[in-house]
């Protein structure tokens, strides 16, 4: 009897020890999981970054190719920038079934109370209309300016985004941010002096100036668009899941497509579409493929920009777009034989300098945020 009791006590001790070990194992697994989750998140960000830069470069070159080889419709050039969202529909339906929780910085302080359906619809409509306006302005720019000039002017969207983020997302203006804004502004201003030798054939002074102004406004609307997306994620959509990114891109693109289609039909440009296709320098098949691949490239860029806004911030997404800045002018020199004048070279150097200034500020902000989180976790453990 005594031996049986001793055996029972021994088994109970072993069970308790096993429970303690399993509990410790859970903690250690959680500790190991955090670096793994952190690594997966930054791999995801790297994936979005690569495809954002690739999509931006391909979209810019294909947009200019459309006009270079005989395209004349501004509304067609606008429509292809927003109508490619159906390629995301398979993943959209998958994301509806499976909610992928994604911890991020820009939405870390969101409220849990859901917004009304009217508020969400208003967000999609506003962002969609902003996308439509942005697409049309860029279409005018690509028609009247060399693609390298459009790319360099687009770098100024970082300055516009910082301005809008200051009011919408409480973005701080540090010396590095201010330095970045000044450099990017100077980069765009220098291009005005480049208008005599860089105009595409058949473009008058008035059309060149119109293209320049429209591209500046396009950069401004793009900065406002990304800042508004960050505000929407934080204040209206609120959910910390990748589903909200898909919803925003799909519904926003749908609204933009409807608005642009209405403008296209109202303008009457659809009447000359067949004639434009038949007169395209590369042939009718190449005409269709140019528009299709432009739509795909634009949608990849739009999706990756929204994903980067969700993962980090609107300014980071804009900085990544500016990071791809040198690719487009260099590619334009090869494909369209754009001239790389001294002024344009200086403009590129200033734009890259401004981008690096902003990236360094982003690094300082991330390091400060990590230090605060580390101190907070140490206090809570104590």
Q: How confident is the model at residue 254 (pLDDT cuts 50, 70, 90)?
A: very high
Query: Regarding predicted confidence, which is higher, 39 or 247?
Result: 247
> Does residue 363 surpass a pLDDT of 80?
no
Specify the 3-state DSSP secondary structure of 182: helix
Percentage with pLDDT > 70 across the chain: 75
Chain-centre distance for alpha carbon 130: 14
Instruction: Round the average pLDDT of the chain to a whole number and report it.
Output: 78
> Does residue 262 surpass a pLDDT of 60?
yes
Query: Regarding predicted confidence, which is higher, 36 or 229?
Result: 229
> Does residue 258 surpass a pLDDT of 90?
yes
Helical H segments across the chain, by residue range: 2-68, 74-82, 89-97, 117-144, 147-154, 157-168, 175-192, 205-232, 243-267, 273-278, 284-311, 314-323, 327-335, 342-381
Calpha distance 248→277 (Å, rounded): 33
Closest CA to 89 of 297, 303, 264, 272: 303
Interacting residues of 264 by C-beta distance below 8 A, sequence separation 6+ = 73, 75, 76, 78, 79, 270
> Does residue 257 surpass a pLDDT of 80?
yes
Summarize the confidence of residues 145-155 as an average pLDDT: 81
Question: In this predicted structure, what is the pLDDT of residue 155?
Answer: 74
Question: In this predicted structure, what is the pLDDT of residue 204?
Answer: 84
Calpha distance 45→312 (Å, rounded): 9
Question: In this predicted structure, what is the pLDDT of residue 280?
Answer: 92
pLDDT tens-digit readout, 17-50? 444 444 333 333 333 445 667 678 778 888 888 8
**DSSP letters for 300-358:** HHHHHHHHHHHHT-HHHHHHHHHHTTTHHHHHHHHHT-----HHHHHHHHHHHHHHHHH
Question: In this predicted structure, what is the pLDDT of residue 12?
Answer: 45
Question: In this predicted structure, what is the pLDDT of residue 379?
Answer: 61
Closest CA to 59 of 288, 294, 218, 335: 294
> Does residue 297 surpass a pLDDT of 90?
yes
> Does residue 176 surpass a pLDDT of 70?
yes
pLDDT tens-digit readout, 63-114? 989 998 989 899 999 999 999 999 988 877 776 665 544 444 444 444 456 7
Calpha distance 262→135 (Å, rounded): 14
Calpha distance 377→382 (Å, rounded): 9
Summarize the confidence of residues 214-230 as an average pLDDT: 90
> Does residue 362 surpass a pLDDT of 90?
no
Determine contact, residues 310/107, Cβ cutoff 8 Å.
Answer: yes
Query: Regarding predicted confidence, which is higher, 131 or 239?
Result: 131
Q: What is the DSSP letter of 169?
A: S
Calpha distance 356→183 (Å, rounded): 11
Most confidently modeled range among 215-229, 251-265, 306-320: 251-265
Question: In this predicted structure, what is the pLDDT of residue 192?
Answer: 58
Query: Regarding predicted confidence, which is higher, 236 or 173?
Result: 236
CA distances from 201 to 142, 280, 345 (A): 13, 17, 22
> Does residue 171 surpass a pLDDT of 60?
yes
Summarize the confidence of residues 302-320 as an average pLDDT: 78
Interacting residues of 150 by C-beta distance below 8 A, sequence separation 6+ = 60, 64, 138, 141, 142, 215, 328
């Amino acid at each position: 009897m005594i031996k049986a009791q001793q055996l029972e006590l021994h088994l109970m001790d072993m069970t308790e020890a096993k429970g303690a070990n399993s509990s410790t194992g859970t903690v250690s697994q959680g500790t190991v999981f955090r670096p793994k989750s952190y690594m997966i998140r930054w791999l995801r960000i790297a994936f979005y970054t690569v495809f954002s830069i690739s999509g931006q470069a391909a979209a810019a070159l294909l947009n200019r190719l459309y006009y270079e080889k005989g395209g004349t419709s501004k509304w067609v050039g606008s429509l292809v920038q927003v109508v490619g969202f159906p390629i995301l529909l398979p993943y959209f339906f998958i994301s509806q079934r499976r909610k992928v929780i994604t911890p991020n910085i820009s939405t870390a302080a969101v409220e849990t109370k859901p917004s009304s359906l009217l508020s969400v619809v208003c967000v999609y409509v506003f962002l969609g209309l902003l996308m439509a306006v942005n697409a049309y302005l860029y279409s005018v720019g690509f028609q009247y300016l060399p693609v390298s000039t459009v790319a360099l002017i687009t770098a100024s969207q970082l300055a516009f985004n910082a301005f809008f983020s200051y009011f919408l997302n409480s973005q701080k203006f540090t010396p590095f941010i201010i330095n970045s804004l000044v450099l990017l502004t100077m980069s765009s201003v220098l291009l005005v002096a480049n208008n005599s030798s860089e105009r595409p054939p058949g473009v008058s002074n008035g059309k060149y100036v119109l293209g320049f102004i429209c591209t500046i406004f396009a950069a401004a609307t793009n900065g406002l668009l990304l800042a508004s997306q960050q505000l929407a994620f934080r204040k209206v959509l609120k959910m910390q899941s990748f589903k909200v990114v898909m919803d925003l891109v799909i519904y926003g693109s749908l609204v933009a497509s409807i608005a642009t289609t209405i403008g296209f039909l109202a303008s009457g440009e659809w009447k000359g579409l067949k004639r434009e296709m038949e007169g395209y320098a590369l042939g009718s098949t190449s005409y269709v493929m140019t528009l299709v691949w432009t739509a795909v490239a634009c949608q990849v860029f739009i999706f990756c920009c929204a994903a980067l806004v969700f993962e980090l911030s609107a300014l980071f997404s804009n900085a990544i777009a500016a990071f791809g800045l040198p690719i487009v002018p260099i590619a334009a020199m090869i494909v369209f034989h754009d001239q790389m004048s001294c002024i344009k070279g200086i403009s590129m150097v200033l734009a890259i300098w401004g981008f690096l200034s902003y990236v360094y500020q982003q690094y300082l902000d991330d390091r400060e945020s990590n230090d605060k989180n580390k101190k907070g976790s140490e206090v809570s453990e104590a």
